[in-house]
Every structure is written in C-alpha cells, then in structure tokens.
Structure 1
Amino acid sequence: MRRAGVWDDDGVDGRIDLLKVSVPPLLCGLFLAVVWFLLPSEQWLLLVGMMVAYIVPPLGRETIIPVCILLGIPWWLVASALAFLDFAGGLFMAWNFPLVLRIPYAGPWIRRFMVAGRTFLDRRPWLERLYFVGLILFVSLPFDGSGSIVGSVIGRMLGMTKTEVVACITIGGIIGSFAIALGIDWVTNLIPAGAGPWVSLAVFILIGIALLVMYRSRSLMRETNV
C-alpha cells in the first residue's frame, strides 16, 4: 500500500474555493455548447439527459451508450461525452473532496465506503499491487460501482496524488467508453439496413440480457468466494 494522506486539503477549515467548484461544471457546459453545433436539437437534449443519467446511479456506460447509439447519436460522440464526464467528475472530486463529504447523502455514503474500503481493497488486491494500472482497469471495466466518484475515493485510499487519480480516471473513462461504443457500433453494422427499428431494439435487448446475466454470474461468484 502506498503512502496515504497526500491530499493535503483534507484539513481545510471549511472554506469553499469557488474556482475549483465552478471549473468542472463550466467545462461540461462548454462541451455541451460545442456539441450543440454537431447534433439536431432533439438528439442534443437526449444526450444531455443521458449524461445526467450517467451521473446518477445505477445506470452506467454499458447502458447509456447502447441507448444513445440506438437513438441515432454517433458512437464516437457518446463515448467522448461519457469520457469527458469521467474527467470532469474526477477533477471535481480531486479539487473538492472535503466539500463532497459535506453533501447530504453523498457525503455519508462516501464516509461509509471509506470505512469499508479496507474490505473492498482486500477483495481486489490487484488494485494495490498495480495501483495506477489497477485504477485505470477499475474505471474502464464495468465493475459494480466503478466510475469517477468511487474511483477517486479508491485512488485517495491508495495514497495516489490528485494528478494521478485524475489521469487514471480520464484514461479509464476513455478506454471503457470507446471500447463499449465501438463494440455496439460494430454490432449495429451487422444488422441489415432494411431490418427496421424493432429488429435493432431486439438485438440491443439481447445484448442487455447477456450483460445482465454476466453481471449476476460474477456477483454470485464473488458472494460464494467471500
């Protein structure tokens, strides 16, 4: 385990740095302003809604990306949007961790997660052995609870610097989002052009069922190994 406590703002006196709080949301607003010129207004609103849904559990990129692609949003744009959200979320967490701990519901949940973090890391020893690569893999793969928020907490518990955590979350977000988007795009290209929307919907439902079965199988295996 690496040295803990390198996030030296944990002991601040409660003051809020407005610049650090406002920059990540402003970056997201700038991103959406650029996307406005790339999509029709209906698809732009859909993408905004999907980005908000990505922030709120339990929906993850393995759900958001297929839905967006099915509804006509380019795969590369969906992947870029979610990867950018991971970057912005990691940046916000790194800059404002003490503030996040004071947010109702989110703060107590993170505190409970940190208390149980030792058990969490004991079940995933590769995160400690390969702390940098391990955190990238954790963020990129559809693990239960993976994402910028949990990834930031784990990075902090591993004693990583803020720059390392943001870098891992950004790289992992790019890998995970683009891998899923490319896979879904490849599957959609296998569907005949005149098949109609119901065939596409059926294919995506089957993909969703397969992902659900894989997730449940992995969860049962983890529970039986406890």
Structure 2
Amino acid sequence: MWQIDVWDDDGADGQASWLKVSVPFLLCALFLAAVWFLLPAEQWLLLFGMMVAYIVPPLGRETIIPVCILCGVPWWLAAFALAFLDFAGGLFMAWNFPLVLRIPYIGSWVSRFVTAGRTFLDRRPWLERLYFVGLVAFVALPFDGSGSIVGSVVGRMLGMTKTEVLSCITIGGIIGSFGIALGIDYIVNLIPAGTGFWFSLAVFLLIGTALLVMYWNYSRRLKADA
C-alpha cells in the first residue's frame, strides 16, 4: 500500500494550478464573509484572529475553542470554524503537495518527515489495516502537531489517495472540534452565573494545566519505552 508518489504533479496547466492554490483561500474568505452577518464586529475579529492562530503552531483547537467560547462566540460556530479550516488545509495539501515541498524550510521539513515516517511504517506493516481509522483519530485527538497539514503528510506516507486523506481530515476535524466545543460548553454551563470572566478563565486554566501535565507524563513514558 505504500504508494508515496500518488500525489506528484499531474501535468496540470498554469490556470488549473492557480485555481488549486486559490480555491481553499477563497472558501475561507467566503466563510468569514458569511460569519460577518452572524457576529458582532468584536467577536468576528476575535474569531478571525483565532483562526489565524490555529494555522500557526503551537496553538491547537484545545486552546482556540475555549478562548472563543469564553469570549462569547457560539460553541457550534467556533467548532465549525476550526473544522472548516481543517478541511480547507487538507484540500490545499491534496492539490498542492508538490508546491509545499518547494517552500523554503517547510518543504525540507516535510521531506524529512516523509522519509522518516516511511521507514517507520515499512517496519510495521500491520498499521496498514488501521490506516483510515488511525488517521481520523490522529486528526481528531489533540496530539502535538496533529491537524490537516501533518495529517496530509501522514496520509501520504500511508499511500492513501487524496480523497481518502481529505475524508479522514474532514471527519477527524469535525469529531475533534465539536467534541471539545461540546465539552467546554458543558463546563461553562456548570459554572454559576455571575462569577465573572476571570473566574471562568481560571477554571479553564486549571483544566488546561491538568491536561498538559497528563500529556507531558504520557509523552515521557512513550520516550522511556522507546
């Protein structure tokens, strides 16, 4: 199954290549234009800033979604915005993977990641049976570095087609974003009314710190086992 070259350039002309690059960004622009009519200007700017922050590591949906909800953005809109970004990012990677390899620094990192991951997977052929569910879980769960970009690279290493990878990223993004948003919304409703923004923020900071400690311990055990 390890077909690493399935995403190479297909000889498309310049116009088609331009459309492949621009369509994901146009979709994001249309989404933001539609949200403009749903939110006040302050919350729209917040959501826009959080979407930009989601693209730039190290912030993930486990950080972005609570901030949006605490600042008044509806939980379902915060979840849908990040799930939509995962879809757009997966679409961009599926259509423009060779272009990404030519970007300074990013291209060399992706190439090294693919080479190392290919060696890892070749030694563990049993992972082939779990490739679809595994990639969905990788995108959905808040792993360090998970998301549409790295998920696309992992799918490429697994030899998955563009459609399969985009499906996994979309499903994983929806599950991960809406799961976190529902959990945060439930916690918010448990906090007594009138306690104020700073009390709510302190509660979320305590929860976030506990999750970070758990993740750090888990990562340390994995390194020790390796």
Does the pair score TM above 0.5? yes
Shift of 1:7: 2.0
Task: Give the match for residue 30 of structure 2.
Answer: 30
Report the Cα distance in structure 1 between the residues aligned to 2:122 and 2:190, rounded to whole angstroms: 42
Query: Secondary structure of the residue that 1:184 maps to in structure 2?
Result: helix
Report the Cα distance in structure 2 between the residues aligned to 1:183 and 1:119, rounded to whole angstroms: 38
Amino acid at match of 2:19: L
CA RMSD across the alignment: 2.1
Task: Give the match for residue 139 of structure 2.
Answer: 139
Amino acid at match of 1:90: G
| Equivalent residues of 2:86, 2:147 under 8 A apart | yes
**Is residue 88 from structure 1 mapped to residue 84 from structure 2 by the alignment?**
no
* TM-score normalised over the length of structure 2: 0.93
| Equivalent residues of 1:79, 1:178 under 8 A apart | yes
Report matched runs for 1:14-93 at 5 Å: 17-93=17-93
Shift of 1:5: 2.5
Report matched runs for 1:177-188 at 5 Å: 177-188=177-188
C-alpha change, 1:104 and 1:14, in structure 2 (3 Å) is farther
* TM-score normalised over the length of structure 1: 0.93
Report the Cα distance in structure 2 between the residues aligned to 1:163 and 1:147, rounded to whole angstroms: 16
Query: Secondary structure of the residue that 2:212 maps to in structure 1?
Result: helix
| Equivalent residues of 1:128, 1:134 under 8 A apart | no
**Is residue 115 from structure 1 mapped to residue 115 from structure 2 by the alignment?**
yes
Amino acid at match of 1:68: C
- Which structure 2 residue ranges, 5 or more long, are not aligned? none
Task: Give the match for residue 129 of structure 1.
Answer: 129
Report the Cα distance in structure 2 between the residues aligned to 1:215 and 1:14, rounded to whole angstroms: 46
Shift of 1:108: 1.3
Shift of 1:202: 1.1
Report the Cα distance in structure 1 between the residues aligned to 2:166 and 2:194, rounded to whole angstroms: 44
C-alpha change, 1:208 and 1:124, in structure 2 (3 Å) is farther
Shift of 1:214: 1.6
